[in-house]
Amino acid sequence: MKYYTYFPGCSSSEGNSMAYGQSAQAVSGVLDIELIELEDWNCCGSTPYSSIDELSSFCLSARNLSLAEKRGFDLVTPCSSCYVMLNRTQSYLKDYPQVKANVDEALAAGGLEYHETVKARHLLDVLVNDIGYDAIRAKVKRELEGLKVASYYGCQIVRPRLGFDHPEYPESLDKLVASLGAEPVPFPLKSRCCGGSLIISNEAVALDLIRKLLESAASNGAECLVTVCPLCQTNLDAYQSRVNKKFKTDFHIPVLFFTQLMGVAFGLDDEELMLKTSIVPVERVLAKYL
Amino acid sequence: MENKTQANTFMDEVSAIPGGEGIRLCIQCGTCTASCPNADKMEHTPSQLIAMVRADMRNEVLSSNAMWYCLSCYLCTVRCPRGIKQTDLMHALDCLAVREGLSSKRTHTPVMYRSFSDFVYSLGSLSEVGFMALFYLMTNPLRALRMLPVVLDLIRHGRLKIKARRLSPEATRQLEAILDKAETLGGVS
């Protein structure tokens, strides 16, 4: 059994990507991983907070890191934005003594200290590097043979250089998909942006980016997309109908969390993986594997 | 006596902000602009913005819509041949614009970021429903109507919860104490 401190982030815990959190826990169970949720964690603040008040945004992450430090395990999150914010805070604390001094003073107001010993990691990193493709393959009960999958990384799991995969041409998720028996298709835009939170404030801009991603995946024969981030999944899935309306396109590409696809291959049932929470139905392409 | 040091220039102000120091290294090669998915939507491209900071165009830079179109995709950052953290620079300019009350009115992104942050500040957790409702109320309530099909889809698939996750009362007080202290420390610069 491997133990990690788990930081679900708002979307995957009780937000609109609960399916991600639940499927992450389910496949972790199969792989003998225990994800122990950090008690009373707070929101990472994401890009919005760091664009309004940077010091407060560092403090949001520093509180979580400080709480995690008491546990002594690596801190694992399934959300790319949480992953970037936690690591961004770590690098600023290390590189800028002035930031460190201010954050320490703010943490002290809450009776906390942080000694920079925690490693903040993305769930994909843990699954492919600590567990490994062979061990994942060994748990496959339903080979996803013939399923053509576009592995979508998005931005913040690989950029800025966070180390576990290439910042522009990552391959870990493709290899994971292949270890489930599925076929990763070429996907040139696999680490391009989904539009992020601009989908709310500037929808037209984000829809255009989403359209490009869907087009790239579809033109390479993908039957579905898998994502490693709650916001990427929401943008590609929930806004697919908006893309179709705006650009007179006809995309019907299901968008799964990578943990859901793993769960299907592991033989877990569709309710446990919350497959019905996908807006574009996944049953059509997954029917023969369920 | 007036001390005419370089600290009077906008470039010095920006390079004193953690993450902003790289601005002195720019060679105007344009790699950041060529990599940016949104450069064509910005009033000033990322490389123009750097040139403008160096030309001391403080007001023009801080009131530009450019940094609010940054998606934080970090493509510029990993490609910059001079190692400038361009994305962090955009965030630093965002924060400075907010502090000076100059953030662009020609995009809704500053208001959206503010609504998001206010929710996180008061709850310690993000309420997706609450934050979006607040944002549409503050900008254009009619737009919320156009978003209804997306919202209904999410509700129908069990993905929107009205009730937000709450931290324990002790944790809420602790977080509030930390954030209030951070505010008195007045930003990172």
Chain B: nearest CA to A30, how far in angstroms? 25
- A255 and A186 housed in the same domain: yes
DSSP string, A199-248: HHH-HHHHHHHHHHHHHHHHHTT-SEEEESSHHHHHHHHHTHHHHHHHHT
Q: What is the pLDDT at residue B187?
A: 59
Q: Tens of pLDDT along A224-272?
A: 999 999 999 999 999 999 999 999 999 999 999 999 999 999 999 999 9
**Which range of residues forms the domain containing residue A14?**
2-123
**Does residue A130 lie within any of the structural domains?**
no
pLDDT at B133: 85
In a shared domain, residues A280 and A175 = yes
Residues A68 and A146 in one domain: no
Residues of chain B with pLDDT under 50: 1-6, 189
Chain B, window 87-106: residues with a beta carbon less than 8 angstroms from a chain A beta carbon:
87-88, 90-92, 94-95, 98
Work out how many domains chain A is built from and give that number: 2
Q: What is the ipTM of this complex?
A: 0.95
Question: Would you state the pLDDT for residue B129?
Answer: 83
Domain end (from A93, A123, A153): A123
pLDDT of residue B132: 85
List domains and CATH numbers for chain B. 6-99 (1.10.1060.10), 109-184 (no CATH)
Percentage of chain A with pLDDT > 90? 98
Q: What is the pLDDT of residue B40?
A: 97
- Mean pLDDT over residues A25-47, rounded? 97
Whichever domain contains A232, its CATH number is 3.40.50.11810
Rounded to an integer, the average pLDDT of A185-202 is 96
In a domain, A129, yes or no: no
Torsion sign, CA atoms A86, A189, A200, A284: negative
Provide the chain A residues 197-226 that lie in CB contact (below 8 A) with chain B: 197-198, 200-202, 205, 209
pLDDT at B130: 84
Buried b (16+ CB within 10 A) or exposed e, A129-153: eebebeebeebbebebeebbbbbbb
Answer yes or no: do A147 and A113 share one domain. Answer: no
* pTM for the whole structure: 0.96
- Do A51 and A175 belong to one domain? no
A206 shares a domain with A70: no
Q: What residues in B contact A14, CB-CB < 8 Å? A: 161, 164-165
Residue entry with tokens 């420390």:
B185
* Residue bearing the bigger pLDDT, A166 or B143: A166
Residues A12 and A209: their CA atoms lie apart, in Å, by: 23
DSSP-derived 3-state class of residue A32: coil
Write down the mean pLDDT value for chain A. 97
Q: Answer with the one of A92, A123, A154 that is the final residue of a domain.
A: A123
Which of A68-72, A154-158, B2-6, B57-61 is predicted with the least confidence, judged by mean pLDDT?
B2-6
Residues A97 and A203 in one domain: no
User: B37 at the A interface (CB within 8 A)?
Assistant: yes
Q: Please check whether residue A133 lies inside any domain of the structure.
A: no
